[in-house]
Amino acid sequence: MENNNIYPIFDRMMTRADKENLLGQHSVMVWFTGLSGSGKSTVAIALERELHQRGILCRILDGDNIRSGINNNLGFSEADRVENIRRIAEVAKLFVDTGIVTIAAFISPSNDIREMAADIIGKDDFVEVYVSTPIEECERRDVKGLYAKARRGEIKNFTGISASFEAPEHPSLTLDTSVLSLEDSVHRLLELILPRIQKK
């Protein structure tokens, strides 16, 4: 006699809770925003390494791995910037739903664009970190000369020069890397997110 109920839940995908239990961690989205050269990627990479050492599975999303792949058909117009962040947020949501601590480092220059990302990912999972390093320091660090090119008009729509940047209204954490050391920045991040990530 055929039994159609041997595997009654095979038509249901595993849940986020299933994944988090497997990994022994809670997932969260840590979204770094700030000007080019502010230190977003540097702090994000240091955070990833620190969490990895603690046995926490992470994934960094930044311009290098997004613009060269899934978003390689986008430019830097206003519409393309919005679509860039929309796609990033959709990808990030998949990682968060898989139980992975996801770290994004993108200029994401407006409150509206970051609000869109938070809505896609889920506001309860969205930790906004504003890397508030002053533009003067960002320009001083600029090894690629992007700010100089932007000031000469060679790069259009460059955030902070020919395109505006809106500081977050209510970030979860603000880090000025012209004042804080890398170690101090990571320590403050850990204080903020470890209680959310670690399973009781």
24 is in an annotated binding site: no
Strand-pair partners of 105: 32, 62
Q: What is the pTM of this model?
A: 0.89
Establish whether 75 is an annotated binding residue.
no
pLDDT digits (tens, 9 = 90+) for 173-192: 999 999 999 999 999 999 99
Catalytic residue at 108? yes
Find out whether 103 and 59 touch, Cβ atoms under 8 Å: yes
- Strand, helix or coil at 148? helix
The verdict on whether residue 153 carries a ligand-binding annotation is no
d(CA 98, CA 10): 18
Encode 75-92: b = buried (16+ Cβ within 10 Å), e = exposed.
eeeeeebbebbeebbebb
Catalytic: which of 68, 77, 108, 178? 108
At 6 the pLDDT is: 59
Strands in 101-105's sheet, in edge-to-edge order, are: 58-62, 101-105, 29-33, 126-131, 173-175
pLDDT tens digits, 104-135: 999 999 999 999 999 999 999 999 999 999 99
Q: Higher pLDDT residue, 132 or 77? A: 132
The stretch 53-81 carries a mean pLDDT of 81
Query: Do the annotations mark residue 35 as ligand-binding?
Result: yes
For residue 72, pLDDT over 90 is answered with no
The per-residue pLDDT for 156 is 85
